[in-house]
Amino acid sequence: MKKLAIFASGTGTNTAKIIEHFKENKTSIVALVVSNKSSAGVLKIAEVNHIPTLILQKEIFFQGNGYVNELKSAGIDIIVLAGFLWQLPVSLIRAFPKKIINIHPALLPKFGGKGMYGNHVHEAVLASGEKESGISIHFVDEQYDRGQIIMQAKCSINKNDDVHSLANKIHQLEHRHFSPTIEVFSTL
Ligand code: GAR
């Protein structure tokens, strides 16, 4: 059984789905929920599910080995980024090669990079007049939002869509595809 650490900065709807998924499918277990924000809703979800949490301090995270030792001693095999807004330091990426995956709420390589998170992504997609958007699940490497893509799923955009409706479509895709993709990846 693989031990997952989920890194998240926000509400945590994807984290909640992943926790539920791996209660049923015991190929992996969510062993730790990590956040950079002590007020993040995702921490409440962890608490309700009796999952240990770790709140990151910026000065530690971006210096030297950061939290690598803590993650290794907790036995973490795979790191899942589910709405985590800090770019990962190279020390962490190198400590977990091809073991860190991220979900991005658009069809990379378009609409990725710094500042492209949450509704900013959907605003940019709508402003560009795209006819479709979607999700990208990809490996995290040293190039922000550029790691090898594991899977993508698409949705159409119609003329009535706004940020709210597009965000809803994207969340639905994420909730459907993220956990099964993590499961396949973790059993390789
Ligand atoms: C998700 O839509 C995820 O794709 C996005 O944050 C949201 C978190 O939602 N991630 C990024 O924008 C990363 N660049 P959640 O807190 O409800 O799971």
Please count the CA atoms within 13 angstroms of the CA of 96 that sit on its side-chain side.
27
Domain range list for the chain = 2-186
Cα–Cα distance measured from residue 3 to residue 68, given in angstroms and rounded to the nearest whole number:
15
Residue-wise pLDDT for 50-102, tens only, equals: 999 999 999 999 999 999 999 999 999 999 999 999 999 999 999 999 999 99
**Spacing, Cα 102 to ligand 1 middle (Å):** 9
Catalytic residue among 104, 138, 171, 177: 104
**Spacing, Cα 27 to ligand 1 middle (Å):** 24
Contacts of residue 59, defined as CB under 8 A and 6 or more positions apart, other chains included, come to none
CB-based contact 156:131 (threshold 8 Å): yes
CA-wise closest residue to 178 among 111, 93, 107, 80: 80
Cα–Cα distance measured from residue 187 to residue 64, given in angstroms and rounded to the nearest whole number:
31
Q: What tokens were used for 125?
A: 């997609």
Q: What predicted TM-score, i.e. pTM, was given to this entire model? A: 0.96
Contacts of residue 7, defined as CB under 8 A and 6 or more positions apart, other chains included, come to 34, 35, 79, 80, 81, 82, 84
Q: Which atom of ligand 1 is nearest to the CA of 135?
A: 4
Q: Does domain 2-186 have CATH number 3.40.50.170?
A: yes
Q: Which atom of ligand 1 is nearest to the CA of 9?
A: 16
Mean pLDDT, the chain, whole residue set: 96
